[in-house]
Every structure is written in structure tokens, then in C-alpha cells.
Amino acid sequence: MPMLQEGKTLSSYKILQELGVDPNDSDAVRLISNQLEELRRFGLVRETANGFRWIK
């Protein structure tokens, strides 16, 4: 997710907004959440109280 690679901390809502995903589209939200979780598992992003931040 290039927007995270800019070094900003982004909330889940902001990520959905940047991607043009409707927050009411449960399938799309689930896919994005899964992607963020995989990035976290691989040590590429960190989840903070304020959102997600790229760490590599």
C-alpha cells in the first residue's frame, strides 16, 4: 500500500477512503483488513492507537 509507505499513520477509515472503498461494503472491508493483517504479520506495518504505520 503505497500510501502507507509515505510514512504517515493512517486510520482504517482513511485507508478505505484513500482506496475509494465504501465502508459499508463488508466484503471489500474484510479484504483490506486481511491485507493489513498480513502486512503486520510480515513486519511491514505496525498497528497503533491512531492507525497503521509503515515500518520498513
Q: Is the pTM of this model over 0.75?
A: yes
**CA–CA separation, 22 and 47 (whole Å):** 21
**CA–CA separation, 22 and 54 (whole Å):** 23
pLDDT tens for each residue of 3-24:
888 888 999 999 999 999 999 9
Residue 14 phi, psi dihedral angles, 5° rounding: -65, -40
- Mean pLDDT for 30-37 is 96
DSSP state of 50: T
How many CB atoms within 10 Å of residue 39?
A: 19
Asked whether the beta carbons of 9 and 52 are under 8 A apart, the reply is yes
